[in-house]
Structure 1
Amino acid sequence: MLSGLPMWVERTFSAPRFGPYLNAFPGDWLTAWNLYRWNMEVSAAFYIPLQCLEISLRNAEHDRLRAHYGHDDWWRSAPLGRDQLGKVAKAENDACRKGDRRASPDDIVAELPFGFWASLLNRAHDRYLWVPVLHRAFPGYRGDRETLRDNFRSVVLLRNRIMHHEPIHHRHLTADHDKIYRLLGYIEPEVIVWARASDQVPEVLTRRPQPTPP
């Protein structure tokens, strides 16, 4: 039983799921519960900057690749790996199930996940995608592909934890937040001002629960 908390908390959220929060404040059940709620709040707050980055990355890479290959369904020509081609096939099937017509390239692009677009920066694509095409999707970037890929993979991990309702309170969330905007700046700096106008992450970070006074 989760000591000092209503019984519905354990029935609804389960003691094992509550464990990572209690580990942050051993023996302090009330603050651990407040941390659980705060984790929900900060996860929701990250939705706006993450959405801006995911959409920006998707459209920047898609625009460059379709221009390079000369057709909207560029994945039929690009040297993608088996896992990536599987994601394209799944995206096409998912898009078809949502409508009563054959999925268009735009429908498929909209279904492809954040991780797919980040994976196009992998070392395997250095010669055939990054060098001739994809580096142009990041006009504000002057570093190497590997560093850029690692930064995007970190943000994809954050995004996936949020979407699967997992703890993120243990992460350096201020650094995560800064990284999202840094990556946005590499693609389209002007979107940053627009995104920050609705971004609640900085304010929510100031409300992180503190241990209950003895």
Structure 2
Amino acid sequence: MLKLSRSLVLASNSPRRQQLMKDAGFTFQVEVRPTPETYPATMPPSEIARYLAVQKAEEFRRSSEERLPEDRLPEDRLVLCADTVVISQDTVLNKPAGAAEARAMLRQLSGRTHQVVTGVALLNYDEIHSLTDEALVTFRPLLEAEIDYYLDHYQPYDKAGAYGIQEWIGMVGVQRIEGSYYTIMGLPVHRVYDLLRPYAFPL
């Protein structure tokens, strides 16, 4: 377990990311700055997650620079940002706006392999370090009744691609995973651990 020499902020309201960080032994505060989740239309889908994570970190840096000196981001504070995208058939599947869009996404994922990319950015005062981790997920063909059951009993509307790998649909529908399970959940903990290692006390 790493004991950090600096205070850590997790810039995410995701309960999954918060739980993963706690389970990994990190102590942190949650603070989120509203950031537009937009990206250039010509950007390759595999680069979007890192781009959005960096934009979230940039928002912390910009807002800190606009404040009075005594209210700016302390030099001994780290800010961890992340974003996850689901890519199916070269199309980015964002968080669904409602049940109809969620159903369409799950139908598209059914019986196919898709890509999950999580980007991470770490703000260290005026430096931003970023990385990307990818995984492949293969769903067996899903029955309409299974899709309906998932949408009726779970709330996938805050999840890219309209599903949570740790929920019922992941348990019964996923045939194969290539890569980190935690990257699919929204945070590649093994990569985050290495990213934070330089700021830890010696073990």
Question: Shorter chain as normaliser: what TM range?
Answer: under 0.3
Structure of greater Rg:
1
TM-score, normalising length: structure 1: 0.21
Q: Which has the higher contact order (CA 8 A, sep 6+)?
A: 1
TM-score, normalising length: structure 2: 0.22
